[in-house]
Amino acid sequence: MPGYHLIEARMLTPSHQDGIEPHPNRKGFLDYMRELREETFPFPPGYRFRIEGLEDLLLAAGDRLQEVEGFIHATLVRRAGDLDAVMGTPVQIIFRQRLQLADDFWVEAGVNRHLSLRRIFGTPIRQQGPNGTEFFFTGFNLT
C-alpha cells in the first residue's frame, strides 16, 4: 500500500535474515525535501526509494526542533496528493535507532533521549513484515 514505511535499519536485509528488502534507490532526507519542493513532481511512477538521515536532521535542529518538524510535516502533506497519485509504491524512511510507539511515537536518540516523530508523522500503525520484523505505516497524507 502506498505511503511511508518507517523502518529500523536492523529490520532490513542483510542485517536481519529474511528481513525487509530495502528499496534500491537511496536518498538523504534533505535531498528528498528539496525534491518535494520543486514545482514539477520529481519522481516517475513506481520509483522505489528509501530515505535516510531524518534522525541527524532532527538532532541538528536543536532549539528550532518544533519549527523544523512543522516545516517537514507541511512539505510532506503538500505533496501527499502527488505521491498517492503517481508513486504506487511505499517510500521507506530508515532509522538507525529503535522506533517506539506508546503514548507518543519516537525514535531513541541516545540514553534517556527521545525524538518525537508525532508532529511529523502523526500516529502510524504498527505492521508486521516478514519473519517477525516490524515497521510503521502512515499514509502520504500523514493522517
- Check the CA dihedral 104-10-44-75 and report its sign: positive
Half-sphere exposure of residue 94, counting CA atoms within 13 Å on the CB side?
A: 21
For 86, the domain range is 4-138
State residue 113's pLDDT score.
81
**pTM, full prediction:** 0.94
What pLDDT is attached to residue 18? 80
- Given a cut of 70, the residues of the chain with pLDDT beneath it are 111
Per-residue pLDDT at 131: 82
Kindly report, residue by residue over 95-105, the tens digit of the pLDDT.
999 999 999 99
Q: Work out how many domains the chain is built from and give that number.
A: 1
Assigned domain for 114 exists? yes
